[in-house]
Structure 1
Amino acid sequence: MKQYLFLFGCTLAGFVAQAQTDTVRASTLPPAQLAEKYYNSGVAKFNDKSYNAAIQDFDRALAAKPDFAKAYYNRAATRYELKQYAPAVQDYNEAIRLDPSTFTAWYGRAQARQAQNLPAEAEQDYSKVTELKPDYAAAWYDRGALRFEKGDYQAALQDFTQATKVDPKYAYAWHDRASAERQLGQPEAAVRDYTEALRLNPDLHVALLNRAAAKRRQKDYKGAQEDYSDYLRRRTDDPVGYLGRAGARYEAGEYQAAVDDLTQALKLKPDYALALNNRAAAYQQLKKYKEAEADATAAIGQNPQYAEAYLNRGHAREMLRNVPGACADWRKAAELGITAGTAYAANSGCE
């Protein structure tokens, strides 16, 4: 999921002391001034993306002034850019110990912990940011994203809602609130929020795909097809768009159009097992059972554990009078978790 990335560069620049003409040798400066000198140099090098050189300057600043919270914070930010997440967390720890009221250190540590795949710890830090600075939309959004990923959709919805209240122009928050609403079975609300996300950011193409999916839940197949088509005008090279539009066309009973879209998806991605299986289903509706069997077999070749493909191939083989093959496929589908396979086998006299 997209991240609302913390603008380290801007934050760093905000801490820079006023530039002054320095005609005094560095070695003669008092420790506090020497630390500030190296700190400012580190900030400049960070902004130039000279990260290793920036770390050296922050090291010198901390050697001169060991309780320099901003230097710990900015060295942590630099280490984050270098993907040195564990050392970054250690520096954020020091920055928080020295100045626990600064929300940026808590937010930075949350980002680093998330990069370490420590979602529970990251969530705790985002929560602290919401306490220290309730108007910081990114913290609400990022905590919502973590909660969404672990399946706590109601809590995620609350966080995304708060992010939109804090920043009504936050397109990603509107988008992800819509996704939480979809998961909670609220397609009408989801369509509204995806629409708002697109109004705020017309280039947020994924919102077209997701709004189309929400419209399908409402059985608005025409509206869904329009969204998929709009997406495909912008992204002609994405097989997912063709797959989605094929689904809307299939649900509307437009089986040949669905086959056409799935064929296009497979031209772009020949090993697309889902498209192969779905085209098998569309071919069956068109009573093209040999083609259906071939596509289901190809899907199984891509994924030998594809239960739905075994079920579909069983149907095609039944219509081709290959009863033993159909029975074997239905039993395999049941073995892989589709209980309907057992019923099909029993009803067809496979026993």
Structure 2
Amino acid sequence: MELEVRHLRALCAIADTGSVRKAALQLGMTQPSLTTQLRRIEGAVGGLLFTRGQTGSRPTPLGHTVLLRARPIVAEMAALVTAARNAAVGAGGERLRVGSVGSRVVTGWLRRIHARFPDADITIHIEVSANTLLQLLATNQLDVAFVQETEGFPLAVPAGVERRVLTAREPKFVALAAGHPAAGRPVVKLAELADESWIVDPTADHEWAALCRAFAATGLDPRLIHVRDNTTAADLVASGEAVRPCQPTAEPAPGTVVRPLHGDPLTAELSLAARACALPLPELDALFTDLEAAYEEAATRSPAYQSWLDARGTALFRG
């Protein structure tokens, strides 16, 4: 087996994230595929490159030696690709690479961006993990990204990446079956859902940990089930088999309702992230203004969120 740049990139990702699972997510691979690839690389170099334990994956002395040579190669290749893309853009117009966590806000934001920059080549990259989006920004694979940070679980913000806060404390709501006994109430207490199975996405940053912390604060111990597919998750909620946390702007799936949680035990900070000086300030200001407008549009379409805002006399974008 001959080592290729993609193999070196995989080794750097494992070293940078400290985890084969996180590296696979960053690289857009499955964990088993990356594990198999790592074994083949180790077979090719003739030794163990990482030790695996409960604390993650750490380079061995041989791994450090290989990484010392791999990093410059990966960096040079990234620079070459970036230069080539920039040259292509220079010949054909402006390019804007947008990233975002999944949200109803994305459609309205993109519509406004296209209207503002009609001649630009605009691409969108959707990720469950905000940490992955920040890494893509740091490595010049994205220009700007809409991210969220779960309260109490700070994001790993790379050096040179800056964030502009959209709203400091967005509440998480809960989606449950329309026939659920709590569905008729305007606000639902966690204790009312203590016996339910809660759906969490294992690839979402800290979603599982935040939910466990919220229940622990009330002395409850929920049943958690990991589901990555949104269609399956929606069907499970509609059938009454489970409930799931959701964004307040989320549109209820057929057979479900979205309700606020009493006391707002789950919240997140929403922000626009970009590399420092990567975009001209007027352009960044415009993208942020469009994001604000798109978020407000999505919020006004959610009766549950509007009721939550009205009950508190809270204006959007003021924490």
Q: TM-score, normalised by structure 2?
A: 0.23
More helix by share: 1
The one of the two structures with greater contact order (alpha-carbon pairs below 8 A, sep at least 6) is 2
More strand by share: 2
Greater C-alpha radius of gyration = 1
